[in-house]
A and B are shown apart, each in its own frame.
Chain A
Amino acid sequence: MDVKFINAFVAAIQNVFKTMLGTEVGVGKPMLKQADLVSAEVSGIIGLSGEVQGSVVLSFQEDAASRIASTFAGVELTLDSPDFADAIGELANMVAGNAKKDFVGYETSISLPSVIIGKGHKVSQSKVWPFLVIPCQTGLGNFNVEVALITNKKPVMAGGAA
């Protein structure tokens, strides 16, 4: 996967959290997703289609998900709240949409968000199309952004050579 796609997601995560939650995000070194990675309790998923295809998953443990969703929505939300999934889905939507704007030269669309809630669930990955995991740390709790993208078009990214 082109590192510039990952950079677009890092910038998007930081922009969305700073603007909507007033929270800085520290980003660790991206790594390939390992099978033994601790499974998530909450996953917000967006699909990408067009000249860049794949998916992005915001992956949380329960406590971090509740604190982040509550701060985003401005009201206390727990996993049982009717608007909890909506808040997580919209966060995933904003991160994917914000990253997509830096895919200059690629015609790409994003799907409506899906949210999975449940202890120990796993979002499976393709062997030929692995997820890169971007570890994210915030004052509200840590989470991961998992990105799996492919394109067969010559890259023309914002700020890069044509």
Chain B
Amino acid sequence: MNILLVDDSRTIRNIQKNTLKTLGHEDVTEAADGIEALACIAKQRPDLMLVDWNMPNMDGITLIKKVRETDKTLPIIMVTTEAEKSRVLQAVKAGVNNYVVKPFTAETLAEKINQTMAKFATAAT
């Protein structure tokens, strides 16, 4: 399973990679903004995407809207400091499937990833 991590902070991408490793996911691609992420997706469609909200060049909401124009089934989890209800609703409207607020524990991130993948696995059967 290929997982695309989109966050302008390499520190956060490393923390996420470590969590994914403990879950047995080592096939990870990284992007530092929405534009890089779109280029990665064009090369290889990931099986799951984790997306930050506030990034330079192209933010996470714009990225998600662009992805959803052509791909309704890519599992997307937003991982962001934006915690207000209005922001969560905005993200859901844009097309995210799950939401993790920073700061997060490894357990929370793992739970949301498992939850999201299980939902898509059920939908596919």
Contact = CB atoms under 8 A, between A and B. Distances in A.
Contacts of A86: 9-11
A19 B102 CA distance: 9
A81 B91 CA distance: 34
Interface stretch (A88-96, A127-135, A138-146): A88-96
Main DSSP-derived SS at the B contact region: loop
A86 to B, nearest CB: 5
Contacts, number: 55
A9 interface: no
Contact of B103 (A16, A74, A112): A16
Contacts of B14: 73-75, 83
A49 to B, nearest CB: 12
26 contacts: A16-B103, A72-B11, A73-B14, A73-B15, A74-B15, A83-B14, A86-B11, A87-B11, A90-B9, A90-B11, A93-B9, A93-B54, A94-B81, A94-B103, A97-B80, A97-B83, A97-B102, A98-B102, A98-B103, A100-B81, A101-B84, A101-B101, A110-B54, A112-B8, A112-B54, A112-B56
Interface of B: 8-12, 14-15, 18, 54-56, 80-84, 101-105
